[in-house]
């Protein structure tokens, strides 16, 4: 037993569960790959690669770039952490596009003929939603910024006590 664990790297139950799972996987795989096996394999593995090695690095990089490119350059004016006012609308608009891009980009060829509904409305709607999200975020940011700067000015004018408001 201890020898098995040393050789295998985990307990026998671990192996048993995995073998059971692989048996089921193989049974389904044979059927999944019955037609156009290469294309299906590309889709299956490509799905993981597309997310892990393309989508995730891209949005991480976008986030980091936003941080360094748009960072606040003047020290004189008090500011507030701003990145989330950019992240939130970008993320919300982005997941909408990620899920509904075939309709938004007018890619679903049979859509209009099948359903008797025009597909052309989606791009405008997505842009409108995106506009509202960014607009609301900008407004929230402006209000927050205004509040903080007013407080800072008041503190400067009054007794020198409250400049520690910033996190």
Partner 1 sequence: MGSGGRSASGSSGGPQGPKRDQEPARRRLPRLGAASAAAIHAIASAGDAAAARAQAIARRVGRTPPPPGPFRPGFWRSPIRGPWLTSVFGLVLLVGIPVLFVTGALSYAAYNPDLGPLNDQTPDKGLLGFYLFDWPTQPYWLYRLTQGVHVTLGVVLVPVLLAKLWAVIPKLFEWLPVRSVAHGLERLSLLLLVGGVIFEFVTGILNIQLYYVFPGSFYTLHFYGAWVFIAAFIVHVCLKLGRMTRALGSRDLATELRTDLAHTVPEPPDPHGLVPTAPAAPTMTRRGALGLVGAGSLTLLVVTAGQSVGGLLRGTALLAPHNRDPGSGPNGFQINKTAAAVGVSPAHVGPSWRLEVRGRSPALVFTRAQLLALRQHAAALPIACVEGWSTPDQLWSGLRLTDLAAMAGLPGAGSVLVESVQPPGPYSSVVLRGNQIHDPRSLLALRVNGADLSLDHGFPARVIVPANPGVNNTKWVHRLTFRT
40 binds partner 1 (CB under 8 A): yes
Contact 167, 81 (CB under 8 A): yes
d(CA 145, CA 152): 10
Comparison of 1 and 157: residue with beta carbon closer to partner 1 = 1
Single out the segment in contact with partner 1 by CB under 8 A; choices: 62-70, 71-79, 141-149, 152-160.
62-70
Pick one of 54, 72, 120, 125: the residue that binds partner 1 (CB under 8 A). 125
57 binds partner 1 (CB under 8 A): yes
Give start and end residues of each alpha helix (H) in 55-120: 56-69, 83-104, 111-115
Pick one of 79, 111, 149, 155: the residue that binds partner 1 (CB under 8 A). 111
Pick one of 54, 70, 77, 99: the residue that binds partner 1 (CB under 8 A). 99
Pick one of 36, 72, 153, 163: the residue that binds partner 1 (CB under 8 A). 36
Smallest separation, CB 142 to partner 1 (Å): 20
Pick one of 54, 70, 77, 83: the residue that binds partner 1 (CB under 8 A). 83
Residue 107: which residues within 8 A CB-CB, separation 6 or more? Answer: 101
Q: For residue 24, give the 3-state DSSP assignment.
A: helix
The CB density around residue 88, as the number of other CB atoms within 10 Å, is 15
d(CA 143, CA 160): 24
Single out the segment in contact with partner 1 by CB under 8 A; choices: 71-79, 106-114, 137-145, 152-160.
106-114
Comparison of 77 and 115: residue with beta carbon closer to partner 1 = 115
Number of shown-chain residues binding partner 1 (CB under 8 A): 73
- HEC profile of 107-135: CCCCHHHHHCCCCCHHHHHHHHHHHHHHH
165 binds partner 1 (CB under 8 A): no
């Amino acid at each position: 037993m201890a020898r098995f664990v040393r050789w295998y790297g985990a307990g026998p139950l671990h192996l048993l569960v995995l073998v059971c799972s692989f048996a089921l996987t193989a049974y389904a795989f044979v059927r999944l790959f019955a037609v156009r096996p290469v294309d299906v394999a590309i889709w299956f593995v490509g799905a993981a690669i597309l997310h892990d090695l393309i989508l995730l690095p891209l949005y991480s990089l976008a986030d980091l770039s936003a941080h360094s490119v748009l960072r606040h350059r003047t020290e004189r004016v008090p500011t507030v952490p701003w990145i989330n006012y950019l992240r939130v609308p970008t993320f919300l608009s982005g997941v909408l596009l990620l899920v509904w891009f075939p309709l938004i980009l007018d890619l679903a060829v049979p859509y209009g003929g099948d359903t008797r509904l025009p597909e052309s409305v989606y791009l405008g709607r997505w842009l409108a939603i995106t506009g509202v999200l960014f607009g609301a975020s900008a407004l929230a940011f402006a209000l927050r910024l205004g509040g903080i700067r007013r407080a800072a000015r008041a503190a400067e004018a009054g007794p020198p006590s409250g400049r520690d408001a910033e996190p």
